């Protein structure tokens, strides 16, 4: 496995792969890797000749300076994990390598057909512009056959699908297949997240109530309306000292618009444990 830090080297390696007609898998990450990321990389290794994993804490998608500064970073440990899984290239550029000063400070405006107006988009203005800025740049550089994203960031996955399949960029990425991968959880149900590293053991234990509540809501949904279930989830999590819900929205899995019933619906939650922001979801 080779660690690459410049765009020029990436382009050279990608060109060599293309010359040999190799299929390329790409897994974009922000590092501090765990078994959730590993599941994406394992699938990419199984389905492609060559796998590139990017490890880049993308400053343009953070709208909270403290979150960016405190985001865990450990390239050495990440590289060991990726090598053990069989990834071929790790792309770990600096922000300066990735962006010009102007690009770093410009607010990009992509049209997401409204998908960015709800949930994460509403709470984190500009977040998805930053995500698409970095993901589209990675797609241009790596020219993957398949790119892998987790369903844990369900809205992000919906927006990437939109970009590749329905936006003005769709012709550019017409050969690219986006693969959504299931959420990997601890045995106690807590969704794996790099941000969990910022929680103490007791906070982690409290945070297991997030998924427990989502699972209970599957039962509640049998005898209640969407609005009633949303409210009960919020009330149940907020009743736990140390957890505070930012939003719980039950939406259509494709449009992300508020669901009127539970068919094809997904519930997406964001919960604060102190300053740490945790997200999770459940399909009804």
* Interstrand relation of 177-181 and 146-150 (parallel, antiparallel or unpaired): parallel
Q: Which of residues 174-203 bind ligand AMP (CB under 6 A)?
A: 181, 183-184, 191-194
Catalytic residue among 37, 88, 161, 264: 37
Q: How far is the CB of 196 from ligand AMP (least distance, A)?
A: 9
Distance between CA 132 and CA 129 in Å, rounded?
5
Asked if 79 interacts with ligand AMP (CB under 6 A), we say no
Asked if 153 interacts with ligand AMP (CB under 6 A), we say yes
DSSP per residue, the chain: -EEE--HHHHHHHHHHHHHTT--EEEEEE-SS--HHHHHHHHHHHHH-SEEEEEE---GGG-S-HHHHHHS---HHHHHHHHHHHT--EEE---HHHH--HHHHH-------TTTTSSHHHHHSTTHHHHHHHHHHHHHHHH--SEEEEEGGGHHHHHHHHHHHHTSTTTTTTTT-EEEEEPPPB-TTSPBP-GGGGGS-HHHHHHHHHHHHHHHHHHHHGGGS-HHHHHHHHHHHHHTSTTEEEEEEEEEETTT-PBPSSSTTEEEEEEEEETTEEEEEEEE-
Tokens of 202: 């007791």
- State which residue, 208 or 232, has the beta carbon closest to ligand AMP: 208
Q: How far is the CB of 153 from ligand AMP (least distance, A)?
A: 4
Asked if 40 interacts with ligand AMP (CB under 6 A), we say yes
Contact track, ligand AMP, 235-274, x by CB under 6 A: ----------------------------------------
37 is an active site residue: yes
- Judged by CB under 6 A, the stretch of 7-15, 83-91, 99-107, 144-152 that binds ligand AMP is 144-152
- State which residue, 22 or 34, has the beta carbon closest to ligand AMP: 34
Q: How far is the CB of 235 from ligand AMP (least distance, A)?
A: 26
Instruction: Out of 25, 36, 121, 144, name the contact with ligand AMP by CB under 6 A.
Output: 36
- Judged by CB under 6 A, the stretch of 37-45, 108-116, 164-172, 251-259 that binds ligand AMP is 37-45
How many residues would you count in the chain? 284
The distance of Cα 85 from the centroid of its chain, to the nearest Å, equals 20
- State which residue, 118 or 150, has the beta carbon closest to ligand AMP: 150
Asked if 146 interacts with ligand AMP (CB under 6 A), we say no
Instruction: Out of 124, 127, 146, 152, name the contact with ligand AMP by CB under 6 A.
Output: 152
- State which residue, 89 or 149, has the beta carbon closest to ligand AMP: 149
Residues in touch with ligand AMP (CB under 6 A): 29-30, 36-37, 39-40, 149-150, 152-153, 181, 183-184, 191-194
List, by residue number, the catalytic residues: 37
């Amino acid at each position: 496995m080779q660690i690459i830090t410049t765009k020029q080297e990436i382009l050279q390696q990608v060109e060599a792969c293309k010359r040999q007609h190799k299929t390329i898998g790409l897994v974009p990450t922000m590092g501090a890797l765990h078994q959730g990321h590993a599941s994406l990389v394992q699938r990419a290794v199984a389905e492609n000749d060559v796998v590139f994993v990017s490890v880049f804490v993308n400053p343009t998608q953070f709208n909270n300076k403290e979150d960016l500064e405190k985001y865990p970073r450990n390239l050495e440990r990440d590289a060991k994990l990726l090598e053990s899984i069989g990834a071929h290239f790790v792309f770990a550029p600096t922000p300066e390598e990735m962006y010009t000063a102007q690009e770093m400070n410009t607010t990009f405006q992509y049209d997401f057909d409204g998908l960015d107006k709800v949930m994460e988009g509403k709470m984190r203005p500009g977040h998805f512009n930053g995500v698409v800025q970095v993901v589209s740049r990675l797609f241009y550089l790596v020219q993957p056959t398949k790119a892998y994203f987790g369903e844990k960031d369900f809205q992000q996955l919906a927006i990437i699908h939109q970009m590749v399949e329905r936006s003005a960029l769709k012709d550019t990425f017409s050969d690219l297949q986006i693969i959504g991968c299931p959420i990997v959880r601890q045995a106690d149900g807590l969704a794996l997240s790099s941000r969990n590293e910022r929680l103490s053991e007791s906070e982690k234990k409290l945070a297991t109530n997030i998924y427990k509540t989502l699972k209970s809501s599957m039962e509640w949904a049998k005898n209640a309306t969407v609005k009633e279930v949303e409210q009960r989830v919020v009330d149940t999590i907020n009743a736990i000292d140390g957890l505070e819900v930012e939003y719980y929205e039950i939406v259509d899995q494709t449009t992300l618009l508020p669901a009127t019933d539970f068919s094809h619906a997904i519930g997406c939650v964001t919960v604060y444990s102190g300053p740490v922001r945790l997200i999770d979801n459940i399909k009804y």
